[in-house]
């Protein structure tokens, strides 16, 4: 991810009275996304992923994380984003998130620092963007330097039937 995405001075212009939210920033391709820091259990570099037969195409497989079996989802595939030809498996990061009590890993291209964003700067996504989405997983957008940060709602990334498939993958 280009260094221009990383803004170490996000807090400098915020008023003392404003509400701030802390996000872990991550990149997929040239796009910058964010997730609430409260959902992030840990961030790991590439780990051996075991493929699971007959799983949905966006589920890369499972990993053994200190004795716990954790499903791993390729966020690029889940969001329908284009894969760069020069990306390698060594370039990936896995965000380990706690989603409503379920530990799940998400493959991303890069991870930035913790970002502190003034909640007043978060805007809802444009209606035309979310109108065609099967689930409302874009929580909001905000301007960060010259780029837009897309705040994802990981509680909505997977739909109920997909969570059932995920449970079946873990059980298998």
Query: What was the pLDDT predicted at 83?
Result: 66
> 3: pLDDT confidence band, cut at 50, 70 and 90?
very low
Average confidence (pLDDT) over 74-92: 73
Query: Quick one: fold of 15-171?
Result: OB fold (Dihydrolipoamide Acetyltransferase, E2P) (2.40.50)
Contact between 110 and 1 under an 8 Å Cβ cutoff? The reply is: yes
> What are the tens digits of pLDDT across the range 136-150?
678 888 888 788 888
- Whole-angstrom distance, CA of residue 111 vs CA of residue 163: 25
- Whole-angstrom distance, CA of residue 160 vs CA of residue 20: 30
Residue carrying the six token digits 């709602």: 153
**pTM of the predicted protein model:** 0.78
Write down the domain spans for the chain.
15-171
Lowest mean pLDDT among 1-10, 44-53, 73-82, 113-122: 1-10
> What are the tens digits of pLDDT across the range 84-132?
655 555 678 999 999 888 899 999 999 988 988 888 888 887 765 555 5
């Amino acid at each position: 991810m280009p260094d221009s995405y990383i803004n170490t001075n996000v807090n400098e212009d915020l008023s003392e009275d404003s509400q701030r939210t802390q996000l872990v920033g991550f990149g997929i391709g040239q796009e910058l996304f964010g997730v609430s820091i409260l959902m992030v259990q840990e961030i790991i570099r590439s780990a051996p992923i075991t493929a699971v037969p007959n799983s949905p195409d966006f589920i890369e497989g499972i990993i053994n994380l200190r004795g716990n079996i954790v499903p791993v989802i390729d966020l690029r595939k889940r969001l329908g984003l284009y894969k760069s030809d020069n990306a390698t498996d060594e370039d990936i990061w896995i965000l380990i998130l706690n989603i409503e009590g379920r530990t799940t890993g998400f493959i991303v291209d890069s991870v930035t620092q913790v970002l502190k964003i003034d909640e007043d700067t978060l805007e809802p996504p444009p209606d035309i963007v979310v109108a065609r989405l099967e689930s409302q997983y874009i929580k909001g957008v905000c301007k960060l330097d010259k780029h837009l940060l897309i705040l994802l709602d990981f509680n909505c990334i997977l739909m109920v039937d997909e969570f059932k498939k995920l449970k079946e993958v873990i059980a298998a």
